[in-house]
Structure 1
Protein backbone atom coordinates (compact mmCIF):
# COMPACT_ATOMS: atom_id res chain seq x y z
CA UNK A 1 0.00 0.00 0.00
CA UNK A 2 3.04 2.25 0.28
CA UNK A 3 3.01 2.91 -3.46
CA UNK A 4 -0.53 4.38 -3.22
CA UNK A 5 0.80 7.50 -1.48
CA UNK A 6 2.53 9.90 -3.94
CA UNK A 7 4.39 11.75 -1.18
CA UNK A 8 5.89 8.52 0.15
CA UNK A 9 6.67 7.22 -3.35
CA UNK A 10 8.65 10.39 -4.05
CA UNK A 11 10.83 9.72 -0.99
CA UNK A 12 11.95 6.32 -2.26
CA UNK A 13 15.17 5.90 -4.24
CA UNK A 14 13.99 2.62 -5.72
CA UNK A 15 10.59 0.96 -5.71
CA UNK A 16 10.42 -2.84 -5.90
CA UNK A 17 7.21 -4.81 -6.33
CA UNK A 18 7.54 -8.48 -5.38
CA UNK A 19 4.96 -10.31 -7.48
CA UNK A 20 3.82 -13.72 -6.27
CA UNK A 21 1.26 -16.05 -7.81
CA UNK A 22 -2.22 -16.10 -6.22
CA UNK A 23 -1.88 -19.80 -5.45
CA UNK A 24 1.42 -19.30 -3.61
CA UNK A 25 -0.03 -16.43 -1.57
CA UNK A 26 -3.04 -18.57 -0.68
CA UNK A 27 -0.93 -21.57 0.35
CA UNK A 28 1.25 -19.38 2.57
CA UNK A 29 -1.83 -17.83 4.18
CA UNK A 30 -3.41 -21.25 4.68
CA UNK A 31 -0.30 -22.68 6.36
CA UNK A 32 0.15 -19.62 8.59
CA UNK A 33 -3.47 -19.29 9.65
CA UNK A 34 -3.99 -22.99 10.34
CA UNK A 35 -0.63 -23.67 12.01
CA UNK A 36 -0.01 -20.40 13.86
CA UNK A 37 -3.48 -19.02 14.43
CA UNK A 38 -5.45 -22.22 14.91
CA UNK A 39 -8.01 -21.40 12.24
CA UNK A 40 -9.95 -23.99 10.29
CA UNK A 41 -9.27 -24.62 6.63
CA UNK A 42 -12.85 -23.62 5.83
CA UNK A 43 -12.53 -20.27 7.62
CA UNK A 44 -9.26 -19.48 5.85
CA UNK A 45 -10.71 -20.34 2.43
CA UNK A 46 -13.87 -18.29 3.07
CA UNK A 47 -11.94 -15.25 4.27
CA UNK A 48 -9.44 -15.46 1.42
CA UNK A 49 -12.11 -15.69 -1.28
CA UNK A 50 -14.41 -13.10 0.30
CA UNK A 51 -11.88 -10.41 1.22
CA UNK A 52 -8.15 -11.09 0.87
CA UNK A 53 -8.01 -12.01 -2.82
CA UNK A 54 -10.47 -9.36 -4.07
CA UNK A 55 -8.79 -6.65 -1.98
CA UNK A 56 -5.36 -7.67 -3.27
CA UNK A 57 -6.54 -7.32 -6.87
CA UNK A 58 -8.33 -4.05 -6.12
CA UNK A 59 -5.72 -2.26 -4.01
CA UNK A 60 -2.31 -3.97 -4.05
CA UNK A 61 -1.77 -5.38 -7.54
CA UNK A 62 -2.51 -2.06 -9.32
CA UNK A 63 0.31 -0.34 -7.41
CA UNK A 64 2.95 -2.30 -9.32
CA UNK A 65 2.70 0.32 -12.06
CA UNK A 66 4.62 2.63 -9.71
CA UNK A 67 7.49 0.17 -9.24
CA UNK A 68 10.89 0.69 -10.80
CA UNK A 69 11.44 -3.06 -10.67
CA UNK A 70 8.85 -5.84 -10.68
CA UNK A 71 10.25 -9.09 -9.31
CA UNK A 72 8.20 -12.02 -10.63
CA UNK A 73 8.04 -15.33 -8.75
CA UNK A 74 8.74 -13.70 -5.39
CA UNK A 75 11.70 -15.05 -3.46
CA UNK A 76 12.19 -17.92 -5.93
CA UNK A 77 13.53 -15.57 -8.60
CA UNK A 78 17.25 -15.80 -7.79
CA UNK A 79 18.36 -13.99 -10.96
CA UNK A 80 16.08 -11.06 -10.19
CA UNK A 81 17.15 -10.97 -6.55
CA UNK A 82 20.81 -10.93 -7.58
CA UNK A 83 20.16 -8.06 -10.00
CA UNK A 84 18.36 -6.07 -7.31
CA UNK A 85 21.14 -6.77 -4.82
CA UNK A 86 23.74 -5.51 -7.30
CA UNK A 87 21.71 -2.34 -7.94
CA UNK A 88 21.26 -1.68 -4.22
CA UNK A 89 25.02 -1.88 -3.70
CA UNK A 90 25.40 0.99 -6.18
CA UNK A 91 22.87 3.23 -4.44
Structure 2
Protein backbone atom coordinates (compact mmCIF):
# COMPACT_ATOMS: atom_id res chain seq x y z
CA UNK A 1 0.00 0.00 0.00
CA UNK A 2 1.40 3.41 -0.92
CA UNK A 3 1.65 6.23 1.60
CA UNK A 4 -1.18 8.23 -0.03
CA UNK A 5 -3.38 5.14 0.15
CA UNK A 6 -2.48 4.54 3.80
CA UNK A 7 -3.27 8.15 4.69
CA UNK A 8 -6.55 8.00 2.78
CA UNK A 9 -7.49 4.78 4.57
CA UNK A 10 -6.58 6.28 7.96
CA UNK A 11 -8.77 9.31 7.21
CA UNK A 12 -11.66 7.02 6.31
CA UNK A 13 -11.23 5.11 9.57
CA UNK A 14 -11.25 8.35 11.56
CA UNK A 15 -14.45 9.42 9.81
CA UNK A 16 -16.09 6.05 10.44
CA UNK A 17 -15.14 6.12 14.12
CA UNK A 18 -16.44 9.67 14.44
CA UNK A 19 -19.78 8.57 13.01
CA UNK A 20 -19.91 5.58 15.36
CA UNK A 21 -18.61 7.18 18.57
CA UNK A 22 -18.93 10.94 18.14
CA UNK A 23 -16.19 13.56 17.90
CA UNK A 24 -12.75 12.25 18.81
CA UNK A 25 -11.86 15.21 21.01
CA UNK A 26 -14.98 14.62 23.10
CA UNK A 27 -14.19 10.93 23.49
CA UNK A 28 -10.55 11.60 24.35
CA UNK A 29 -11.58 14.11 27.03
CA UNK A 30 -13.96 11.51 28.50
CA UNK A 31 -11.24 8.85 28.49
CA UNK A 32 -8.83 11.28 30.15
CA UNK A 33 -11.38 11.98 32.88
CA UNK A 34 -11.92 8.27 33.53
CA UNK A 35 -8.20 7.49 33.52
CA UNK A 36 -7.64 10.40 35.92
CA UNK A 37 -10.03 8.77 38.38
CA UNK A 38 -8.52 5.32 37.87
CA UNK A 39 -4.92 6.50 38.24
CA UNK A 40 -5.58 9.09 40.94
CA UNK A 41 -3.79 11.84 39.02
CA UNK A 42 -4.69 14.17 36.17
CA UNK A 43 -4.50 12.72 32.67
CA UNK A 44 -4.86 14.95 29.62
CA UNK A 45 -6.46 14.02 26.31
CA UNK A 46 -3.02 14.43 24.69
CA UNK A 47 -1.62 11.86 27.13
CA UNK A 48 -4.44 9.50 26.19
CA UNK A 49 -3.43 9.87 22.53
CA UNK A 50 0.22 9.14 23.37
CA UNK A 51 -0.72 6.09 25.45
CA UNK A 52 -2.94 4.72 22.70
CA UNK A 53 -0.08 5.19 20.22
CA UNK A 54 2.19 3.30 22.64
CA UNK A 55 -0.33 0.45 22.83
CA UNK A 56 -0.44 0.18 19.05
CA UNK A 57 3.37 0.38 18.82
CA UNK A 58 3.69 -2.60 21.16
CA UNK A 59 1.31 -4.52 18.92
CA UNK A 60 3.30 -3.48 15.85
CA UNK A 61 6.53 -4.64 17.52
CA UNK A 62 4.89 -8.04 17.93
CA UNK A 63 3.59 -8.08 14.34
CA UNK A 64 5.04 -5.31 12.15
CA UNK A 65 2.79 -6.33 9.28
CA UNK A 66 -0.46 -5.77 11.18
CA UNK A 67 -1.96 -3.02 9.05
CA UNK A 68 -4.81 -2.13 11.43
CA UNK A 69 -2.35 -1.19 14.17
CA UNK A 70 -0.37 0.94 11.73
CA UNK A 71 -3.55 2.71 10.61
CA UNK A 72 -4.49 3.31 14.24
CA UNK A 73 -1.08 4.86 15.03
CA UNK A 74 -1.52 7.23 12.09
CA UNK A 75 -5.07 8.03 13.16
CA UNK A 76 -4.14 8.76 16.77
CA UNK A 77 -1.23 10.94 15.66
CA UNK A 78 -3.59 12.87 13.42
CA UNK A 79 -5.86 13.57 16.40
CA UNK A 80 -3.11 15.15 18.50
CA UNK A 81 -3.64 18.70 17.17
CA UNK A 82 -7.35 18.46 18.02
CA UNK A 83 -6.66 17.74 21.69
CA UNK A 84 -3.88 20.31 22.00
CA UNK A 85 -6.14 23.27 21.07
Structure with greater proportional strand content: 1
- Bigger Rg, structure 1 or 2: 1
Please indicate, yes or no, whether the TM-score normalized by the shorter chain is above 0.5: no
Structure with greater proportional helix content: 2
Q: Which of structures 1 and 2 has the larger relative contact order (alpha carbons within 8 angstroms, sep 6+)?
A: 1
